Structure 1
């Protein structure tokens, strides 16, 4: 019998909080973007990445100082 690996179990194995935040947000963004036109999808993904990057960088900095 093969072991089923879920996205949640993969995300749970990520130890770096900044990377986990980016991975979870990227997954949510990709799901939302599926129903958009090509141009709208690209624009949406770029806007979402601009929103989450500062948070991920802050989490990374906080994690490195502690």
Structure 2
């Protein structure tokens, strides 16, 4: 995981289950950077960048717990 400057106009999307303004948004456009970007919808300028393998491991953990 790293903190990077990312163009906030990129293709971030939120879960269809998000019904409030307090959501996590994800940009998985790996073709451009090889990273998965995550941000808080309330603070779109602060972005975390994950390697695709780390992101996949995180999602597997969520699905099994």
Q: For CA contacts below 8 A with separation 6 or more, give which structure has more relative contact order.
A: 1
In terms of fraction of residues, the more strand-rich structure is: 2
Give the TM-score normalised by structure 1.
0.32
TM-score, normalised to structure 2, is: 0.32
Tell me which protein shows more helix as a share of its residues: 1
Tell me which structure has the larger Cα radius of gyration: 1
